[in-house]
Amino acid sequence: MGGNYNNGTNAGPFYLNGNNAPSNTNSNLGSRLLIPYPKLRVVFSSPLGENFAAGTRPSKPDMDLKGREVNKKNYLRPKGDHSMKTTKRIGHLMEKLCTRENALLAIEAVNEPRKKNKTAQWVESTKEARADELCELLRDFHPKKPRTFPRYDSTAGKWREINEPALWPDQYVHHMIVQVLAPVLMRGMDFYCCGSIPGRGPHRARKAIEKWLEKDPKGTKYAAELDIKKFYPSLSPREVMRFLRRKIKDEAFLGLIWRIIKDGIKIGFYISQWLANAVLEPLDHYIREKLGDGVRHYVRYIDNLTIFGPNKKKLHRAIRAIMEFLGRMGLRLKENWQLYNTRKRMVNAVGYRYKRGLTLIRKKNLLRLKRQCTRARKRIAAHRRIAPIQARGILSRSGQLKHCAGWSLYDKHVRPIEKTIKSVVREAARKERILCSST
């Protein structure tokens, strides 16, 4: 490094021009590149050696070395989202897993909704001993065979095969694993991955769609609704483990997860919903980083994808790219995916229908709520008892009406029976408290 106070080629790698008059406020700096041009891959805000007046900034846009403008605006990345950053692999998770505190938290989480269950009551009454036992058996845990049975999903309108793991010790082990695994998976999770994630849920997706339709009418001119076909049965356990190894380097912890999921990602396992969300993280990154030309906004609820864009042809190209990406993972979209103009048709996602300035409850959900309320009114009129599960169902489904333009429906269908069904729920909760205190 060197130089003199003369302009020209007399200077070394760097030079300083000191020949300016006192009235000249320019500070002239220059250099010669010592690295061959093709090997340089740095983006500069201005060419080296350019003169800037003191106290001013360059007015030109950011350029790369080939003279192309660098576009820093990313419509897809939400504010405060850091999901694109690479993360280091985490180790020593088995040590965190096999702690007394983690076992006690799992026991509390599993027992809370099962206060009448005899196994849960036994675990609760011997909590300290069971926590120590869980920590010991995790070292060489082998899951029991789950109970399998069909259940009709009225929301999706189809039968599902449910796998219920044994309460002791399997469900407690699943909760212990998720309590340690969740912070690791959340580090790279997309901001608008909303399904089965505490603190997110359908209302984060609903608020985002409402905001996008209101604030960006051009970017939400077209919408597409996509659904992955037979998502859980199609997930390969080896593909899931390959993804987990990118984040985790604790082989004992990975071996424990493998013993649980080696027969498939089962619907009914608490750990399955977390793994299903996590394994689609590369797809979320791919859509945001590679398909930004056609996809302006994007939200995912488990295996349901909703994307928005300003151009129909580009959105079609994005859907084909998503199909190819899923194909490399052994997954595929349902054939009934839809793409439409949002000015002519309402967007349907996470239980609601949307258009600019208006949100309505989904038609199927509204029909079920009306039927539930009608049955409850008939039982009240006949002076018959309402089951607590029926009362809780009405209150749960009527909560959707508070987040959309549904107050008139609430007044018509729910409010006439609201006082009665709330008293049924309170009485059931009181009996549960008495039962738990007596045991």
Over the stretch 334-386, which tens digit does the pLDDT of each residue have?
999 999 999 999 999 999 999 999 999 999 999 999 999 999 999 999 999 99
Same domain, 273 and 414: no
What global pTM score does this model have? 0.77
Contact yes or no for 260/269 (Cβ under 8 A): yes
**Which residue, 299, 332, 360, sits at the end of a domain?**
360
Same domain, 295 and 426: no
Same domain, 214 and 292: yes
Q: Of 150-159, 309-318, 347-356, 390-399, which range is least confident?
A: 150-159
Same domain, 356 and 377: no
**Which residue, 336, 360, 384, sits at the end of a domain?**
360
Determine, yes or no, domain membership for 244: yes
Task: Tell me which DSSP letter residue 146 carries.
Answer: P
Q: Which residues contact 317 (CB under 8 A, 6 or more apart)?
A: 294
The CATH number of whichever domain residue 278 belongs to comes to 3.30.70.270
> In the numeric block, which tokens belong to residue 341?
């103009």
Determine, yes or no, domain membership for 24: no
Determine, yes or no, domain membership for 45: no
Same domain, 265 and 305: yes
Q: How many domains does the chain have?
A: 2
**Which residue, 338, 360, 382, sits at the end of a domain?**
360
Same domain, 320 and 423: no
Determine, yes or no, domain membership for 40: no
pLDDT at 36 over 80: no
Angle between helix 388-398 and helix 415-438 axes, rounded to 10 deg? 130
More reliable by pLDDT, 143 or 82: 143
Same domain, 231 and 289: yes
Same domain, 310 and 413: no
Q: Of 10-24, 177-191, 333-347, 389-403, which range is least confident?
A: 10-24
Task: Tell me which DSSP letter residue 61 carries.
Answer: P
Closest CA to 343 of 244, 253, 221, 243: 221
Determine, yes or no, domain membership for 210: yes
Alpha helices in 310-414 (DSSP H): 312-328, 363-381, 388-398, 407-409
Determine, yes or no, domain membership for 257: yes
Residue 337's domain comprises: 144-360
Determine, yes or no, domain membership for 353: yes
The chain-wide mean pLDDT, for the chain, equals 84
Buried b (16+ CB within 10 A) or exposed e, 104-119: bebbebbbeeeeeeee
Determine, yes or no, domain membership for 283: yes
